[in-house]
């Protein structure tokens, strides 16, 4: 595989349109998810230990994602019968029912999404795409095959994107930032007049005019 064939969507791009076969039937992505948030995540292979722990972890948070109006979609280049058998195995052996669809991708789809990296063999890397209701790519994470993901961080990422869209910037480690906790950062003013107005605004707490914060609206 030549490295020049590797492509990937960038932040703010429309999620690439793909027609896929999944464990829940044929789907058009992102078309079938228009108007909702979704997380599409790839895994290297079915019937592997790290991937199994990840799928269980995602399913454990399935309802939490649902409360955020966010759907889950798994994906690898394994064939559909392998996905189905693996889901059956997880239910039988681990007593966990996987409720989200899993895409049976081919190399063309995986390359289109930047999931096949020349230096990491023929399996898809652990990619995560968070896509908003307008089908825009909002966040991308890539992990190597040997490192399992932190699903709480994926949940947190969806939450902070939704909050940022409505209220302002979100600090590192939200909601437990070392400086301002779960408060929201107010965008810095862009001219001298706004600087003076900012300093006079008693509704805000400021370290300086360029670093002000306000309570989270719940």
Q: Are 143 and 149 in contact (CB under 8 A)?
A: yes
DSSP run (H or E) holding 11: none
Told to judge if 51 belongs to the known catalytic residues of this protein, a careful annotator would answer: yes
Q: Are 101 and 195 in contact (CB under 8 A)?
A: no
Query: What's the burial of 177, exposed, middle or buried (CB within 10 Å: 0-12/13-18/19+)?
Result: middle
List Cα–Cα distances, 150 to 50, 60, 97, in angstroms. 12, 12, 20
Structure-block tokens of residue 74 = 């798994």
Selection from 84, 6, 71 nearest residue 34 by Cα: 71
Angle (nearest 5°) at CA 26 between 48 and 157: 60
Sequence-ordered list of residues with C-beta below 8 angstroms from that of 2, at least 6 positions apart, any chain: 118
Q: Beta strands 37-42 and 137-143: pairing type?
A: unpaired
User: 3-state DSSP call for residue 113?
Assistant: coil
Provide the annotated active-site residues.
Answer: 51
């Amino acid at each position: 595989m030549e490295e020049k064939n590797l492509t990937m969507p960038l932040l703010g791009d429309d999620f690439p349109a793909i027609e896929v076969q999944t464990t829940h039937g044929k789907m058009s992505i992102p078309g079938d998810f228009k108007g909702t948030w979704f997380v599409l995540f790839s895994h290297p292979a079915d019937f592997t230990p790290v991937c199994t722990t990840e799928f269980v972890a995602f399913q454990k948070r399935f309802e939490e994602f649902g409360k955020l109006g966010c759907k889950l979609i798994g994906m690898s280049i394994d064939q559909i019968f392998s996905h189905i058998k693996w889901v059956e195995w997880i239910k039988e052996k681990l007593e966990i029912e996987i409720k989200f669809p899993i895409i049976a991708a081919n190399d063309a789809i995986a390359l289109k999404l930047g999931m096949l990296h020349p230096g990491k063999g023929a399996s898809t890397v652990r990619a995560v795409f968070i896509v908003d209701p307008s089908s825009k790519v909002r966040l991308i994470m890539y992990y190597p095959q040997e490192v399992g993901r932190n699903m709480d961080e994926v949940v947190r990422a969806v939450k902070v994107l939704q909050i940022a869209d409505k209220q302002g910037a979100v600090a590192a480690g939200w909601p437990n930032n070392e400086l301002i906790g779960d408060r929201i950062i107010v965008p810095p003013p862009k001219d001298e007049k706004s600087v003076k107005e900012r300093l006079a605004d008693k509704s805000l707490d400021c370290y300086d005019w360029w670093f002000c914060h306000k309570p989270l609206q719940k």
